[in-house]
Structure 1
Amino acid sequence: MGGAMNPTDAGSPRRLEPVPVPLGPAVLDLLPALRRALDGVGPALLPVPADDQREAGALAAAVAAPGVLRAGEDSAADPTAVVIATSGSTGAPKGVLLSGAALRASAEATHARLGGVGRWLLALPARHVAGLQVLVRSLLAGLEPGVLDLTTGFRPAAFATAAEPVLASPGRHYTALVPTQLSRLVAGEGPGLAALRAFDAVLLGGAATPPSLLATAAAAGVRVVTTYGMSETAGGCVYDGVPLAGARVRLTPLTGQDGPDGPAQRDTPDGQAGTGRIDLAGPMLARGYRRAGDPGTGGGAFAEDGWFRTGDVGRWLPDGRLEVVGRLDDMINTGGVKVPPLLVERVLVAQPGVLEACVTGVADPEWGQAVVAAVVPADPARPPAERDLLDAVRAQVGRAAVPRRLRFVAELPVLGPGKVDRAAVRAGFAAEH
């Protein structure tokens, strides 16, 4: 990438350039451009898929065009380094403006929490923030990462092969996965699992993780660290329920109005009870959205008081850790009772014979919304008894949370890395009537 521009040049708007991101070892060729972007001496980068020209072109047109950052989207003191395009599941893709300082703060806090810098294995697409941060952490550590070739998908045997040179190097060793990858590695009981055990920490995020999978991984000797965060926080900023250094969390009540001084609840666990919308703050927070103020950008999520209003619902556990219980827009209002789908899913996947589950709500003339569940059985030829699943939900979550319709499916539709497409599941049930 030539023609780098100093963001301090008066009257010169900084360029924003789409950069194709490969799924294999060629991704390492992007490290020099990423280094320049972090240092603010090169163009800001918009990662796009190298293997999908249609999507790459659409993202470039929706987020990068006309190729320069607007006033307020950059700063000479803290240049925007990367613009991450969200999935666009709620409309047109949004561009999240991440400064070099935010990316560094996240990477440094991660290394501090994990016990120091180490060599990373990139096992996620680097066009998404979780994979990108593996590259950022590697640059800051001065250690070239290993790369798992994802061109033909994720395979435990390939993971073991890619991990071998990383684990052979001195020092600490890390990788980051989504739950589907962890599940396949743990179930494989082969070289992939053996390699996974050797990592000092395995960051896990991107989607909700069944407690049963975490328990299985722990029993197998895998050092999993669950993460919570998003593109707007430069990746995970809460590890195992505890905020990283500098990160702050508060819960805003789901009912009632905030006062003139902000939410009624404090930003520490002490004294908090119940559930609330999760708000995040800290040095890893994004600058905002590309074209903030334009329709559909959701710019209001970044409050003037320095907090980011997520769309997630959480609660404080008795030991002070944060537990994420679902999305605000996923909450099911059935007969006036709000049901968090994640709590129902956790019960279902904990039952014998269940591999995965997705719970959502569909329109119902009597209840407003009805709880429905798509369940992937571990053995399609011998699915678990439906009555046993419903009884378990009734006993652990309550009568209102019991699915009124449950069907067994071969697999769940996905949207992005490891994220179940709830809208597609909902549409499938709606099409039945």
Structure 2
Amino acid sequence: MVPTHLARHDFAPWQAVLVGGARSGMLPSNAISTYGLTETGGGVVYDGVALNGVAMQLIAGRILLQSPSMARTYRHTALPLQDGWLDTGDVGVMVDGRLRVQGRADDLIITGGNKVWPHVVEQRLREHPLVRDVAVRGRPEPEWGSIVCAYVAPVSPTNAPTLEALRHHVKETLAAYYAPRELVVVDSIPRTALGKVITAELPQ
């Protein structure tokens, strides 16, 4: 199951639901968060704990995996393993012995020397009553290096939130540098079938 399905269907009667494929934010009590890649044959880490036979390690924050289900090769190129380890391209931390995925290494926004993970800002902005959907990305800026830009699909196209209102909303619970410095109002956020934002289709 992917997070998009959670919003569209009622899974309360189910004993357990495996959720993977994208960052899911707040999960229902019967959901189990899974982490893995196509190369690992799907989820190999459940609720932050590696399955039997699966090994994981963090090097400079990057998540590396070993798994008996690991693909042997791509169709035309070899799998880029390092001594049997696959660099996932994701960044995470260990919290109480469990893996917490922070996001793709390429998604990290460094603004004025501060590190901002887009999903943290997105989660807070989704709590604003005028926001239906949102994506956060970094945009190059000479003074700050990058700035936090929020792409917002409002609940009502005639009543979109202002940048000032969103900045105030974010700063109520997060450090000021998390607050977006730019707002782009859109009709909808382009997403894949798995609910992942298609960054290339966001307005430039």
Shorter-chain TM range is: 0.7 to 0.9
Partner of 2:72: 287
Other structure's SS at 2:77 match: coil
**Which residue does the alignment assign to 1:330?**
107
**Aligned-pair distance for 1:180?**
1.5
Corresponding residue number in structure 1 for 2:8? 184
Paired residue type of 2:94: W
What is the deviation of 1:381?
A: 4.5
**Distance in 2 separating the partners of 1:334 and 1:290:** 39
* CA drift at 1:411: 1.4
1:390 CA displacement: 1.4
User: Does the 8 Å contact 2:62/2:87 carry over to 1?
Assistant: yes
The residue type paired with residue 184 of structure 1 is: R
1:181–1:306 CA distance, 2 compared to 1 (3 A): same
Higher strand share goes to which structure? 2
- Which residue is equivalent to 1:420? 197
- 1:311 matched to 2:96? The reply is no
- Tell me how far apart the structure 2 counterparts of residues 249 and 350 of structure 1 sit (CA, whole Å): 33
1:392 equivalent to 2:199? Answer: no
Does the 8 A contact of 1:232 with 1:285 survive in 2?
yes
1:404 has 2:181 as partner = yes
Instruction: Provide the C-alpha distance between the structure 1 equivalents of 2:146 and 2:2, rounded to a whole number of angstroms.
Output: 30
Please say if residues 210 and 350 of structure 1, whose CA atoms lie closer than 8 Å, have aligned partners that are also in contact: no
Task: Using the aligned pairs only, state the percent identity.
Answer: 43
Aligned residues: 204
Per the TM alignment, residue 417 of structure 1 is displaced from its structure 2 partner at its CA by: 2.4
Shift of 1:395: 4.3
Q: 1:311 and 1:224 mapped to 2: Cα distance?
A: 25
Bigger Rg, structure 1 or 2: 1
Mapped contact 2:4–2:194 kept (Cα < 8 A): no
State the partner residue of 1:233: 40
* TM-score when normalising by structure 1: 0.44
Residue 377 of structure 1, CA deviation: 2.9
Contiguous gaps of at least 5 residues in structure 2: none
1:280, 1:310 within 8 Å by CA — same for their partners in 2? yes
Instruction: Give unpaired runs (5+ residues) of structure 1.
Output: 1-176, 186-192, 254-275, 294-298
Q: What is the distance in 1 between the residues matched to 2:66 and 2:84? A: 6
Q: What SS is found at the alignment partner of 1:292?
A: coil
> Partner residue of 2:135?
358
Q: How does 1:145-224 map to 2 (within 5 A)?
A: 177-185=1-9, 193=10, 196-211=11-26, 214=27, 217-218=28-29, 223-224=30-31
Point out the structure with the larger helix share: 1
Tell me how far apart the structure 2 counterparts of residues 245 and 353 of structure 1 sit (CA, whole Å): 44
Aligned 8 A contact 2:126 2:132 in 1 = yes
CA RMSD of superposed structures (Å): 2.2
Work out the CA distance in 2 between the residues paired with 1:251 and 1:397. Answer: 26
Q: Is the 8 A contact 1:315 1:323 kept in 2?
A: yes
Q: Which residue of 2 aligns with 1:252?
A: 59
- Please say if residues 373 and 403 of structure 1, whose CA atoms lie closer than 8 Å, have aligned partners that are also in contact: yes
Calculate the TM-score normalised by the size of structure 2: 0.87
Structure 2 CA distance for partners of 1:365 and 1:354, relative to 1, 3 Å: same
